[in-house]
């Protein structure tokens, strides 16, 4: 879904939510430009009193993937 349509008036960017953490309301959203091209990834906290809060912006998908790998590694270490 488009976060900016679900929660209008938060940011003037087109944000397409494509991933959600299981343990909280964080969403990863592609920032889509007017040509329909991804220009980075926003990490947002959804379902807040304002609609959503921006946590972090990653200029490319691979930077965000690096964060996910770190989070999964920490999650696995905590399970053991």
Question: How many CB atoms are located within 10 Å of the residue 42 CB?
Answer: 22
Rounded average pLDDT over 10-37: 94
What pLDDT, on a 0 to 100 scale, did the predictor assign at position 80? 62
Rounded to whole angstroms, the Cα distance separating 12 from 45 reads 17
pTM of the model: 0.85
> Looking at residue 5, what is its pLDDT?
93
Q: What is the pLDDT of residues 27-74, one digit of tens each?
A: 999 999 999 999 999 999 999 999 999 999 999 999 999 999 998 888
């Amino acid at each position: 879904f488009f976060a900016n349509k679900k929660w209008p008036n938060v940011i003037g960017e087109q944000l397409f939510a494509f991933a959600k953490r299981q343990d909280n309301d964080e969403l990863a959203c592609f920032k889509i430009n007017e040509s329909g091209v991804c220009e980075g990834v926003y990490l947002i906290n959804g379902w807040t009193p304002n609609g959503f809060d921006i946590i972090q912006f990653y200029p490319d998908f691979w930077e965000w993937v690096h964060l996910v790998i770190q989070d999964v590694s920490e999650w696995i270490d905590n399970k053991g």
